[in-house]
Structure 1
Amino acid sequence: MARAIEWIEPDGAVGVLRLLDQTALPLEERMLEISSVDELIDAIQRLAVRGAPALGAAGAYGVVIAMQQAAREGWDQQHLADAITRIAYARPTAVNLAWGARRVDAVRGGGMELVLLEAHAVAREDEAANRELSRLGADWLLATLGDRPLRAITHCNTGALATSAWGTAYGILRELHDRGRLEMVHVDETRPLLQGVRLTSWELQRDGIDHVVQCDGAAASTILRGLVDFAVIGADRITANGDAANKIGSVGVALAAKRAGIPFVVAAPYSSVDERTATGDEIEIEERSDAEVLQFGGVSVAAPGVRAFNPAFDVTPHDLIAAIVTERGVVEPSDADVPLFMTETTRD
């Protein structure tokens, strides 16, 4: 199983955050060793590390990195606090990044040892949550669709590369595969940066799971032709009413699934639930560089002067979602206006 993010402490050396540079996959398995705030923010913004749960761990370990740099360079407390805030908001749509940074920052007064222990806890709990939600999601699908081999469609990357370990929506696929109940996966290529074809397919191949890659524009047809039994995606943020933000194109998959009468499932750890955001209308949608749309391999494929609209995410309304799976259980959204997720903890 690939490790997208881990803290390492070489013999006699100060600990560093090691990331698998996902911009280089699948052609090269390149590791990055992060020891400064600017290096971490750069890795987050150019998607060297990505995926909501992995960003939660990055935010958590980012507090450790900021404290180390503050000690090396003699920062005052305000400078340190500002650096942690920069990490927390390096990408605006995924709630986990700020959640991880804030959780660990809350124990900063206890010193470096306590902060590092808390960051380790964030990563460890994420893996446990992913394994549990995968079990629950597989159980729900087999109970809903029958105990038989199933065909799936997935959008974006939600495997070990997007998490501390194991995976969310991908974890459900892996769980079904391990039970002998996964026949085939249709993998959408997924913008931005083709994360489905570059990352999800790479993980499926390593895990020996039968799959095909398709362009995003083929997803609706694949569903309406009856070639898959369910759709499963991850989420970068789930609002109180069950609306879910995921990579751009997710809404189209949900609409087709609704028309075809097959389950559209969202899988994410509970840390991706933002109880304080009432609906998806309140989620800030990250917009990325024109070059990701207008260039291929660094070469322009558009006429001079053409501009691009490149949102990284869209928001699927809760009434299109058959089930939301977290480690706490499975929720089946409805048209009711009652919040699905009530505030249990304070998230500043």
Structure 2
Amino acid sequence: MSASVSSRTFLNARNEQELLSGIRKEAEAGSLPPNVAAGMEEVYHNYKKAVIQSGDPKANETVLSNMIVLLDRIFLDVTDPFVFQPHHKAKREPFDYYVFGQNYIRPLVDFKNSYVGNMPVFIEMEERLKQGHNIILMSNHQTEADPAIIALLLETRLPYIAENLTYVAGDRVITDPLCKPFSIGRNLICVYSKKHMLDDPALVEMKRTANMRSLKEMAVLLRSGSQIIWIAPSGGRDRPDPRTGEWVPATFDTSSVDNMRRLVEHSGPPGHVYPLAILCHDIMPPPMKVEKEIGEKRIISYHGAGISVAPAISFSETTATCENPEKAKEVFSKALYDSVTRQYNVLKSAVHGKKGFEASTPAVSLSQPWK
């Protein structure tokens, strides 16, 4: 790759014209691959449109400020790619990638129409973490922005959880140039998703070996205690039901649930498995179908979002009447999935149905802890 026009091409931009011109100049110089340059322009325009939707009088300033940083970080990574280890710790200095990610997603969230379900359960989780216990969040997965959404909705009341969550992440978010800067700011256990395991037959064995290495890293992490780990046992993002067009949590993979359950049970410190629901697909929806190629189109919107957690579900209590071990695994996985779905439906009623706090049920109490 040839030398760039300037290492400060984007940081020196004073307006939109100079920023977009910088993308084109770096592409012409050969410093940016054409597909990455096109993606950077697309993200700029889509992000601008979404932030302006918020009605913030300083929207244009926010867009320019955040996009200067994002484009600079994408460009830096293209010229000197960051390589993720199986267990990646969020990079907070000399550049704070975590704060950068929060600042970028924050203007896309309509906080007036966003909710947290069961804050007392989140508080219980934090207390258990501080006692040395491990927490596993079995969750649905909606967008690349899920980690930022979770952190944004919790950071006012529970900054410890917001900043210390570790996410089990698929390889796409650590290889896509437009996504990598956000991933660098999160604690990750890097794995290859089952949905993409067979994309290239020649790489299957390498992927399986890498996943085994990541599982060992997770086991080491859990043995130290006080860990909170998020995983989407579906193996990917939710998609709309093709018959109804309604978004629903993707079905959990029983073996993924059981692997995590056994890991936490055998780690030493006490461990707890909580079902977590996320609703945020409007902000950054995935492609309608699972794509093999890296470099998906980024659609971005300003919208309300929600997260909810239910009390921990015990494997032994849930499966006490199961004599067949395989049946027990299925029962436990279904119990977690059903809880996530119930919570998701409450969030959907609050955010999409515009019922707000009235959508609360005896099992899911909604709040806005940032107020």
Q: Max radius of gyration: which structure?
A: 2
- Between Structure 1 and Structure 2, which shows a larger proportion of strand residues? 1
TM class by shorter chain equals: 0.3 to 0.5
TM-score between both structures, scaled by the size of structure 1? 0.35
- Between Structure 1 and Structure 2, which shows a larger proportion of helix residues? 2
TM-score between both structures, scaled by the size of structure 2? 0.33
Q: Quick one: higher RCO (CA 8 Å, sep 6+), 1 or 2?
A: 2
